[in-house]
A and B are shown apart, each in its own frame.
Chain A
Amino acid sequence: MPFMDVAVQKVEALGPSPETFRAFYEEALPRIYGYFLHRCGGSVPVAEDLTQETFLASVGELKRGRRPETPIPWIYGIARHKLLDHYRRQARAEQPLADAALALDESRFLAEDDGARERVVAALAAVPASQRAVLVLCYLDGLTAAEVGGELGKSTAAVHSLLERGRESFKRAYLEVEL
């Protein structure tokens, strides 16, 4: 996973003590929030909800005695499951355009030079949810097609098909997005 860089390794142990948890929280929160914000069309409410669900789930694990040795990758794993659940809900409703509209309406506090990134986020939000999930898992989270298939309950061939369609959808959306 490309985001597991050296910096994240400085949080090495995680337990239920408030001091330890706070250090972990400060390190992990912007990463997890950014993870969701970029993958959910830039929607602040959705990113906040999923971030909250992720951290609550992590606390639930700690309360049950879990002591992750690599807490940042661990919470990314929880986040990925929350994201996939979110995509599945969206795929059932399949309202990518509504999501894209949300992304454009949901004004964000971005610096001027963030316009290009904003466009990418909006374009990604316009991609159908099933294709978006594959794009994100393959290109952002660095999973292989087989691993993505395992996560999504699809064959490798189906993942390749979704990936190809997702790429076309993304390119089309990227060219059409106006900010």
Chain B
Amino acid sequence: MFLMFLDTLSELWIWQLLGRMHPLIVHFPIAVLVVAFLLELLTVRGKRSELRAGIRWLVYIGASFSLMAVLVGLMLAYGANYPESTLNLHQWSGIATAIAALLAAWLMYRADSSGQKKDLNIYRGALGVTVLLLTFAGHFGASLTHGSDYITEVLPWNYETLSEGEFGELLAEVAEHREMGMVAEQHLNEVNIGVRRIFAHSCYRCHASDDMEGGLALDNEEAVMAGGDGGPVITPGDPDDSELMRRLLLPAGHEDAMPQRGRALFSDEVELIRMWIELGAHWSDEEVQTFREAEMALSKPEPPQRSTEFENPIDRFVDDYFEEQGIRWPESVDDGLFMRRVYMDVIGLLPEPDELEEFVSDTSPDKRDRLIDSLLNRKHDYTQHSLSFWNDLLRNAYIGTGFITGGRKQITDWLYDALENNKPYNRMVSELVSPDEKSEGFIRGIQWRGDVNASQTTEMQAAQNLSQSFLGVNLKCASCHNSFVSNWSLEEAYSLAAVFSDTLLAIERCDEPTGNFAEPGFLYSELGEVDKELPTDGRLNQLADIVTQNANGRLYRTIANRHWQRLMGKGLVEPVDEMDTKPWNQELLDWLAADLIDHDYDQKYLMYSILRSRTYQLPSVGLNAEQAGVPSDEFVFSGPLRKRLTAEQFTDALTQLAAPVYSSVAYDPFDTQIAEASWIWFDALEDGRNVFAPPGQYYLRHTFELPAENIDEARLLVSVDERFELYLNGEMISEGNDWRQVERIDVSGHLTTGENILAVEAEKGGTTAEPAGVLLNLQITQSDGGWHEVSSNNEWKIINQEPDPAWIVAGFDDNDWQTVRSFGSSLDNKYWGRLVEFTHEASGERLQFVRASLVENDDFQKAMGRPTREIVTTKRDLDPTLLQALELTNGELVNDVLSRGADRWIREYGDNPDEMIRQIYLRSLSRTPTDREARIAGEMLAQVPGKETVQDLLWAIIMKPEFQIIY
């Protein structure tokens, strides 16, 4: 009864008018009560009693107005359309505020009458509570007026959100034309597109073809006209008879009200839908673009010519850009900084001090161009540096998940060759998309044992990786359901995956079969069709042609942008994998991409152009984290960004400055001939299973026969993890404590005719069982042409208790000793890798040192930001962390390298500390130390001379941001 009365009442205009005055009335008590409270605070401890009279009035007024606000608020709430839960919170906190305010007023009155201090404090407490409640009420009220999703609506997937009043102009314009009796086709289209945008933002989550709640989809004409389970939802021409309108107009909280999730539609949105139905619910042929899409076609813009100062087209674009942005060209960096930067960027190494000195003293004007040229031509250095970037981009790894069951394949051989020979980019892509057996690893993906999620089949991985790596398109969302963050649909993602599939590919939505099958095709059908009748090879061939054609501007923009990002620290488009984002300079991007095509897809030429530009040679810019993260459409370019050394750059620099960090490779481009032998150790068993032997002392021996003594040459290689002493026929011939240091010994003087005996006393330290082993190879050439090879293998004997001292000579009975267990070959080993120094080869092209890009990922590399390459990585996480700092401060690897490095520096400059400091600075930072730096380091060396101090100096240098950042 009462409700009916309210219903009637709420129709009255005066009711609504009063209700709408609620926001006006509500601000008054807020201000009044807050001021009263603040003034009250000033009177604490009996001060400023003159305020009392004023406060009294403020409290009374505040209390009565809060009561009014509540009454008027209830009127407003009843007639309108607000989310119920927030409304309740607001309503009750508002009512509570009013009650508290009234109570405070009464308590104040009481305190005034009694004059008791206690009563005064009670009143003050009540006033405080009132203000606190007011805070809550105010907050929920704010949520109401601005939508309960005023936090969530700023989330990225709501980014292109529609704003209130957006359709006001359109509504007015079309209304005007209707009055005149002529609504043009164009208007009908615009109205429809508007309606569809509203549908996309507010309705698709539940009502789209791939998720039809209530049997209703709103993303295509047929479905909209067909309606849902309950029948049609619109009656063209008659909004009042349309279920859709009825639902939109129901009060919030009603169980039929729409949308049920997200904000209620704005009034102009509802009006637009009403108008659309009135006008006959016309459906436009135009596609609705919910998210921005970059243009496909590529034409080469003419570089602007503002002044004659700049020749390089890049600089001319940037000059124009700087002019627009009001940025003045700074001076280029000096030779030292430039040299360190360009070395790191092109070959990933520090310049040698003598190269540096020569370059600085060179006075020819084109010396920088020549340097760039020469670095790009250092084929192996360039390749070994670039390899890391490409391995990240193509998800190529030496170790990782999937290999264990044969579900993954490397492409390293192919990739190294492509980089070394600067293979044209279109051919690279083509060979990856339509591969031979050397390059097929890329599209074969990673196959774990067992069943995988439908969005992670190898075909889908291929589609995702091709899109991300080459086109800057993210298909990951769309491979499970129509994307909420891009225009890609499930069907389109499957269509690309189907190109890679040998069998018919069933479409699954969020792992549930949809009953449909995918038609093979490319994402951008305007570039060409894939013939589904062809076998997989043929389709891949076709796909490769479609992707690499010049008309596919996306492919070339994407790679041009990646190179720009590598060299300049931030792409023209960022994020680099979202190429639909607006670049900060479209023309420059287009020019770079078109220029790449014009120069036969030569990536080195592209790099050469960028490196030669004054833009590249500008001083670097340091940003804060927030600035560094902005997308390109908000970014203002003012120079290359500072880049942190990658794990590989840092490691190689450490090798150059101190000592080799690695000695085993996962991939050896020179295929150095490694001497064959097995890593052997104690065969420990637990429950009948092989386990690593516990740490401790072990004894190994091996007897071999030599027929005659006419020995020309006898060369022995040995490496032991961890500490060892090696005896040949009773004499100690070598010892060591680092398996990475291969000992080479000429043993021709120690061999005898007949029985010879090799004996190794070895020890593994530590507290847990870890891999340990002995690796040995001995090659003997005799003057009669005879050749013998002895190596560590499973004929050797081992024992874990100290034997009789005679064990190192021939004739000792080792029958009760155990046979060793082999832990794999020297050529390719799970634990020690391929130890490149374990070779008898003296000459030939060899690795200068084992570069980090050629080794397996380990804890150190990982701590320094090298990704595991389980997924495509296009930007590394290079933010310093505590774990990383710990690794650098007390990690074994760094300390060991620095300790060996200290030996080297003392060997070279031990008698001249000043020169040592100068050379360390030149070597590590490409500059000489300032006087103060030289003094600080010098005093330290003088105070505590010795190896440890040199080691600590090296440590302090490599921890400097100046060492770890490319300025």
The yes or no verdict on A and B being binding partners is no
Which B positions have Cβ atoms within 8 angstroms of A?
none
Which A positions have Cβ atoms within 8 angstroms of B?
none
